[in-house]
Amino acid sequence: MSEASPEERVYVEDLREVWAVLTEEDRLAGWRRLPAEERDDFFLELDTSDQAALVLSLPVKERRLWVRLLPPDDLADVLQTVEPSERHALMELLDQPTAREISALLAYEEDAAGGLMNPRFARVRRDSTVEEAVTYLRKQAQDHFARMHYAYVLDAGQRLVGVVSFRELFAASTGSIVADVMEKDVVSVPETMDQEQVATLFAKYGFVALPVVDAAGVMRGVVSADDVVDVVKEEATEDIQKLGGMEALEDPYLRTTFASLFKKRAGWLAVLFMGEMLTATAMAKYESEIASAVVLAVFIPLIISSGGNSGSQATTLVIRAMALEEVRPRDWWRVARREVFMGLALGGVLAAFGAVRVLAWQHAFHSYGEHAELLAVTIGVALIGVVTWGTVVGSMLPFVLRALRLDPASASAPLVATLVDVLGIVIYFNVAAMMLGGSLL
């Protein structure tokens, strides 16, 4: 950890720029050559997986310093990403109280408020004078609260009874006590609350930090808004990847190994393929219709993809609205009613386009023989049916998954398309049989 000599000096902006494409070895080498005063900040700004990799690439005797530099909530995140054996080795580098704090944090579900919070916070007593509180807080080690802005008022049982910002404390008039200046109506978060709900609370109330309490009202830690920014990004990424028809990745795309990326994608792709095999089974039932009117086969991709597209829109809307808590399970009937009419309206538009397409080609190229008008009607009616079916399946599947206690975001666009395709084919050929029976068929 000697000071870097001038010719070896690496500039922090340069290192940041190339970081993503460096090997682990080059990262360590580049980081070591940063000026000493910038090495800390650079390390603290890395994301969890990079912090973990960097610490593990250090010789064992150098690790202690860096592990201790991390705030407890970040350290817990790092420990959660490393192998259990390494986790144990890193825990041994900590002093007793910190090791206890970290163990407590690791016991929480990763997605719960407890797993997100910083267990260190500034506490004051309700009946302290403001002067006492200020003196007490000044004595606390600076770095403990470096980025904190509130002091929490606890009773004798460590239960949260109020909150006061440092600025309110320091602006308070001489002689007043903490109870006079504190806010008694504290918004707090249960330690088991899901982090998505925590994020919703932050967005709603606009606080920079929220206290976390256990079932008995005892204060356990603080979640701050910047942690929540990460959570919101992560949750959106997971939902987007699931919507794309795959398992969510744990690491950034370019840093995920080919093998892991393959596993995350092949699984769902195979499941969808199995489902889609039913289309071949359904189609086989209509081989004789296709044989006598090949023209019917020509429109199959157009018709089933329209069902898939309308279903993709509907499922995307409902999943996102559920994630934002704009739509609740009991709203299913309002959504269903709305989407049926939406499906009919959208299907109507596409039906008009489809029918015009058939008649125009017939007019220009005589593509469809004497029954072109009937074919146009068939395509139109089938489109209305398939698109309506698509919106209904797409909008209701997230509700069904939720009712089954599965993740509504698994109702990916490809899954909906697969479900819609099979019945789409059945709808199409049945409409064709009704319309064209006795003429083309």
- Which residues from 390-429 bind a second copy, rule CB under 8 A? 412-414, 417-418, 421, 425
DSSP symbol at 177:
B
Among 197, 237, 260, 410, binds a second copy (CB under 8 A): 237
Torsions phi, psi for 207 (to 5 deg):
-95, 160
Closest CB to a second copy among residues 103, 135: 135
Q: Which of residues 42-71 bind a second copy (CB under 8 A)?
A: 45
Closest CB to a second copy among residues 129, 305: 305
* Sequence-separated (6 or more) residues with CB below 8 Å from residue 437: none
Q: In 3D, which of 240, 247, 239, 394 has the Cα closest to residue 308? A: 394
Among 63, 123, 159, 338, binds a second copy (CB under 8 A): 338
Does 240 interact with a second copy (rule: CB under 8 A)? yes
**Complete edge-to-edge strand list for the sheet that includes strand 160-165:** 122-125, 150-154, 160-165
Task: State the minimum distance, in angstroms, from the CB of residue 128 to a second copy.
Answer: 16
- What separation, in Å, do the N-terminal and C-terminal C-alpha atoms of the chain show? 84
Q: Name the segment binding a second copy (CB under 8 A); options: 81-89, 154-162, 242-250, 396-404.
A: 242-250
CA distance 112 to 212: 11
Does 382 interact with a second copy (rule: CB under 8 A)? no
Closest CB to a second copy among residues 4, 321: 321
Measured on CA atoms in the order 420, 421, 427, 431, is the torsion positive or negative?
positive
Task: State the minimum distance, in angstroms, from the CB of residue 5 to a second copy.
Answer: 23
Task: State the minimum distance, in angstroms, from the CB of residue 299 to a second copy.
Answer: 6
DSSP 365-409: H-TTGGGHHHHHHHHHHHHHHHHHHHHHHHHHHHHHHHHTTS-GG
Does 107 interact with a second copy (rule: CB under 8 A)? no
- Total binding residues for a second copy by CB under 8 A? 115
CA distance 311 to 347: 12
Closest CB to a second copy among residues 60, 267: 267
Largest CA distance in the chain: 98
Does 11 interact with a second copy (rule: CB under 8 A)? no
Does 18 interact with a second copy (rule: CB under 8 A)? no
Closest CB to a second copy among residues 95, 325: 325
